[in-house]
Amino acid sequence: MNILENKKKFVVTIVLTFIFYWLLLCSVDVYFVVVMKEAPGWYNYINLSILTLPFVVSFIAYKYSGGKHRGIFVIGVFLTGCIVGYIELMWVLIEFHTMIGGQI
């Protein structure tokens, strides 16, 4: 049994998950800057939802993978999710935030 039997479907699912989290972060930042005028509140912590990204993609990898090397594959996908989540968060909090008129 292969580690990953349906590679195309797995890659599309992972990429769509990354895009969903990126759009979530962007929409929360737009709400914070444009609607709330950067006033502190509970919505400031919604950005911490990015911490769930590695766990979500690991679960997806677990569901799509099989074979005796499944654990190593899932750990690799988890680490990739950590790296992509960090890059997404930093881009939104620094670049996107200043592009829409926010102050750092």
The amino acid occupying position 24 is: L
Q: Can you tell me the mean pLDDT for 77-92?
A: 96
Residue 42 tokens, joined: 């509970």
Q: How high is the mean pLDDT of the chain?
A: 91
Q: Can you tell me the mean pLDDT for 62-74?
A: 89
The closest alpha carbon to 22, from 96, 76, 74, 73, belongs to 96
The model's pLDDT over 30-46, given as tens digits with 9 standing for 90+, comes to 999 999 998 888 878 88
Residue 4: its pLDDT value, please? 74
Cβ atoms of residues 30 and 96 within 8 Å: no
Contacts 24+ apart (CB under 8 A), 93-96: 93/29, 93/47, 96/26, 96/29
